[in-house]
A and B are shown apart, each in its own frame.
Chain A
Amino acid sequence: MNLFCVGLSHHTANVETRERFAGGTRAESTLREAGCAEALVLATCNRVEVYGASEKRVSTDEIAHCLLQNREVSDRGHSEALPFYRYEAEKCVQHLFRVASGLDSMVVGETEILGQTKKAYQSARTSGAVGPCLHRLFQRAFRVAKQVRTHTEITRGSVSVGSVAVDLAQKIFGELGNCSVLILGAGETSERTARVLISRGVTDLRVSNRSNDRAQELAQRVSGQAVRFSQWPQQCCEIDILITSTSSEAPLLTPTNLGPVLAHRIDRPLFIIDIAVPRDVDPAVNEMEGVYLYDIDALRSVAEQSLAVRRQQIASAEAIIAEHVADFLEKISRELSRASRITGDPPVADSSLRATQL
């Protein structure tokens, strides 16, 4: 049985090409008709891959043809060089383990891919496209991904500005359900950050803007309440998180005007996310007790730190994967030898056979 992976990803193809070959609901059955004993299509926004097992080799072109979304355009693009990669046997196993662990993702260490892989596996299993070979391969891939996540810091921290801000808020306040948030300035980034906060449990959201109409619009969109711009300084006594993104030329918040507010909230921290350029908050505010100020550069710097750590962890993750690849291949080889002893076929012993006869 030949085990292979044919696909294209953000490394090799642009989004337009990936769209063309995104497969369809019938892709797996078409692949089986083309000669694959087992087939699984993993289609995400960053990759389209076919994992298959077949008795005889199924060419990359045939697989690409099965993946075409619109068969009518297939002839038009047939002569062009397709950006597909192909991994066989050991390389295929290694590739899947890397994909499931998030090592091949656009953002190294992202965990969404594992969920997408599980979903693809479940769907193929339900439709009967997955047999014992792919079943074992994918079960092992899920184990490897879990081990990589547990034993390395490949998924540590957030790598987008919005997520970093929310992660920091959680590191200060723990559960965000009881936190009050004031959004100062009805900008797009504020709204995005507010939405991430809502997704993590924030319910008390207040919006203030120079134009009260815009404040009310945003408040409506995020199920918050609008506060008149003249009243936002008083709100600082009650809130836990302040997100500012106004277009003010001078800082709105300075140690002088924040000092009296802090006197009333000595035992409660105040987290300020200043995403305005020029900044809305005087950097000296960060020196005040109980205040944690992060401007756009600080948030980016944290995101970059996380990404750097993730990159450092790649070697450890690769080591775990290599161990599992060797172990997986050895187990398969042992089972094939046992099966051949029973059937009387010559035993699978040498590595060249191991590589192709999975």
Chain B
Amino acid sequence: MDRDLLIISTLCFLAAVVRTGVALRAGVFPPGRFNFLAIGLGLVFQTAFLSIRGHALGRCPLTNLFEVFIFLAWSVALIYMLVGPTYRLSLMGAFTAPLVVLLQGFALIAPIDVRHSVKMPANTALEFHASVSLVAYGAFALACIAGVMYLVQERQLKTHQLRSIFYHLPPLTDLFAAITRLLWWGFILYTIGIVSGFFTGRPLPRVQVVAAVGVWLLYAAILQGRYFRRIAPKRVAALCIIGFSVALTLLWGITFSAQTHSVQ
């Protein structure tokens, strides 16, 4: 039943992707309302899935890689719904939906929804740590998407080849402002997530701590470069993409390590 909800949710996001693809081919971008609705609906089904799964487990549904991926996809969609309309980034939906489809599609296809035989008692602090960190990942994902949008727009302006998408993307300065805000939001949440990890009452595996601090340092470096105006906007945008790719890879490692740790 819960997987059905997830499939429906993935189909909603897929509808936004297909619609964008068709629009791109036709060279006509319809108003972003369809994408916004499709993503909103997808988010509702995601939330329903996570809620059912959470009730079944009796804890925050972050017990395996499958749930981590879905929670991350949910964070991305949630932050898009909060950020998209506020910063007039309606086209961000066209970039957000493929990422969510990728995350959920992979989670549904790959055999990673494994229930562990050893069930540790629920720990509120640990759940808070994990969920806040993943919402921070959602903000980093959106910063990465805004970074892609920035680079697409920048490239077209440089080469003088203005395609249909150019007229629908926000101005460079607006995109850069959105990237900066998302980076700050992600960084603050991630800092809270890391700090709360030390108050779970459990020893944390060294690999997890090193990986988490590594991601934190990476984003801290990007933000200080931005704050002191040492890094040009184009490089900040590129670093957001690199940063999120690294963070996603390390997330895999952290989750894998956490699973091993919880089973032992």
Contact = CB atoms under 8 A, between A and B. Distances in A.
- Do A and B come together as binding partners? yes
A151 B28 contact: yes
B30 interface: yes
Given A171-B166, A316-B28, A266 B229 contact: yes
Contacts of B28: 151-153, 313, 316
Nearest to A313: B28
Interface in A290-326: 290, 292, 294, 298, 301-302, 305, 309, 312-313, 316
B164 A266 contact: no
Contact of B234 (A151, A172, A173, A289): A289
A338 B164 CA distance: 47
A101 to B, nearest CB: 15
Contacts of A128: none
B159 to A, nearest CB: 9
Interface residues of B, number: 26
Interface string A203-221: 0000000000000000000
A309 B171 contact: no
B158 A286 contact: yes
Interface in A135-156: 150-153, 156
A166 to B, nearest CB: 13
A156 B164 CA distance: 9
Contact of A157 (B30, B153, B162, B174): B162
Contacts of B164: 153, 156, 309
Interface in A94-149: none
A157 B164 CA distance: 9
A290 B233 contact: yes
A24 interface: no
Contacts of B31: 150
Contacts, number: 63
A168 interface: yes
B25 interface: no
Interface of B: 27-31, 153, 157-158, 160, 162, 164, 166-167, 169-174, 226, 229-234
B153 to A, nearest CB: 7
Contact of B171 (A157, A172, A286, A290): A172
A168 B171 contact: no
Nearest to B180: A267
A351 to B, nearest CB: 33
A305 B164 CA distance: 10
A290 B160 contact: no
Contact of A290 (B29, B170, B174, B232): B232
Given A150-B30, A151-B28, A312-B27, 13 more contacts: A153-B29, A156-B167, A171-B169, A172-B171, A172-B172, A174-B173, A266-B229, A290-B233, A292-B157, A292-B158, A294-B160, A298-B160, A313-B28
B229 A157 contact: no
